[in-house]
Structure 1
Amino acid sequence: MIISSKFKNDVYITPKNEELFIQKLLEINPVIIIKKD
């Protein structure tokens, strides 16, 4: 899974604990795009 943000060209490669990671990211930056392969 790849997560990127629209404004900063940030790309996050998700660690093992995916769901927790996504929750944290959404708290920090609500405008992110999540792509599941």
Structure 2
Amino acid sequence: MVEKLSKNEIKKLRGSARKFLNDKSKSDEEKVDILFY
């Protein structure tokens, strides 16, 4: 089931995603594992 996201929710998710991807304490492999498992 897909929920409709408001513009603000999308912005928040984007911000969280960017923070997560810029997190230098995790390797790229770890990030891929977290995102896809």
Structure 2 length-normalised TM:
0.34
Normalized per residue, which structure has more strand?
1
Q: Which has the higher helix share?
A: 2
Larger relative contact order (Cα-Cα within 8 Å, sequence gap ≥ 6): 1
Larger radius of gyration: 2
